[in-house]
Amino acid sequence: MVNQEVQQPSGAKPRFFYGYIVVAITFFIMVVAYGMHTSFGVFFKPILAEFGWTRAMTSGAYSLAWLIQGVLGIFMGRLTDRLGPRKVITLCSLLLGLGYLLMSQISAAWQLYLFYGVIIGIGMGGIFVPMMSTVSRWFVQRRSMMIGIVMAGGGIGTLITPPIANWLISTQGWRTSYIILGSVVLVLIFLAAQFLKRDPAQVGQRSYGENKGDESKLKVVTEGFSLKKTVHTSQFWMLFSINFCLGFSAYVFIIHIAPHAIDLGISATTAAYILAIEGGLSIVGRAAMGTAADRIGNKPTLIIGFILLAIVLFWLVPAAEVWILYLLAAVFGLAFGVGAVVPPLTAGLFGLGSHGLILGVTTFGYTIGAALGPFLAGYMFDATGSYQGAFLVCAGLSIAGIVLASLLRPTHREGLR
């Protein structure tokens, strides 16, 4: 481990490492942004009750937001590389706040798609990639663990915000609830973003774990590849495919495990608890997988995560008892934390010079999988009356993830361990 003196110029008095402030701020923003984003399901039925729209029409706005979030993540990553995270996330806080405030005024389906699908989708596009890229710049050692901690903020937000939103809707109505929560999102994320710094050089520090005696190695990692060079590597396309497999499998489970449990004769309340266990354990999983990656390496951790996912999804086909579903949800939550490995793995393979842009492009594979998986699983259920085929497809994609992760090789000698 490197002590704090390494972060300071020679002879200077050690100061508190600002990277920890960056981690705390990005964690907080994840709690607020993703907590509110996942609360869409709480507003779902009140909106249906008022307008009488179909479930497909209403949920389509959320799917559109996912797709736009993925596409804009590419451009927001590039903007972060050039302008820094403070300006990018400040802009996104304004868009998110505006989108949620406008949601309180909808009266037609096109407004739902514009306000939620487009405006909020653009705002969310500037949250994940800029923050993951920023944390990566602040840490050489402990990078995976810190990213895992930040990503755990999304899980905590998912646990905290929907119950608050539900209480507000029951007491104030869904329109007023959007005004209150939208205002909170705007103010909190806007203020938090002002304390973000792009990299340690802005405050006269060095990345945590940076070794002064190995400048040549550091130069390779810091400068890294351009996107043009990156897309001509096999590692890029393997990482893109790994993201697709993870997003597809994960969101089929997250979206359809509760309906599947109810189809087995389990109560809706118990089915909700099964999903809650997955969400709660995903918080632990993200931190645990990040810590494991720092100790044994990103590649072995990624393989372990996909092995656990494959076991859960194969076992889910014959599973019918409540305790088994609880167990599978818990293991799935832990395995889902393997997503915390992707940003530091991207940095290790391609460096930090264009990390935000490259991370945005590779994680678009995750977005495609997350948007496509639940839809195809629902289609397969409509055609067969069962989720078994969908779970088997997801298990197969998890095995594909194992194979792809096993085939990953460094782009340079420092790139992967």
36 domain residue, yes or no: yes
Q: What percent of the chain has pLDDT above 70?
A: 89
pLDDT attached to residue 96: 96
2 domain residue, yes or no: no
Calpha distance 194→84 (Å, rounded): 11
Determine how many CB atoms are found less than 10 A away from the CB of residue 323: 8
pLDDT attached to residue 416: 44
171 and 57 in a common domain = yes
**What average pLDDT is seen over the chain?**
82
Q: Classify 265 in phi/psi space as left (phi over 0), alpha (psi -120 to 50) or beta.
A: left
288 and 259 in a common domain = yes
232 and 110 in a common domain = no
What's the rounded mean pLDDT across residues 174-183? 95
Q: Mean pLDDT lowest for which of 8-12, 199-203, 240-244?
A: 8-12
257 and 131 in a common domain = no
Mean pLDDT highest for which of 5-9, 88-92, 289-293, 295-299? 88-92
Q: Look up the domain containing 155 and give its range.
A: 9-203
Helices (H), 212-297: 215-223, 227-230, 234-263, 268-296
Closest CA to 316 of 278, 269, 365: 278
Structure tokens at 293: 């990656």
Residue that wins the pLDDT comparison between 99 and 2: 99
Match 């997250």 to its residue by tokens: 254
269 and 155 in a common domain = no
380 domain residue, yes or no: yes
161 and 58 in a common domain = yes
pLDDT attached to residue 2: 38
Number of domains making up the chain: 2
412 domain residue, yes or no: no
Question: Residue 207: pLDDT band by 50, 70, 90 thresholds?
Answer: confident
- pLDDT one-digit tens code per residue, 337-394: 888 788 778 877 887 667 667 877 888 888 888 878 877 887 788 788 888 998 999 9
109 and 34 in a common domain = yes
209 domain residue, yes or no: no
Question: Residue 402: pLDDT band by 50, 70, 90 thresholds?
Answer: very high
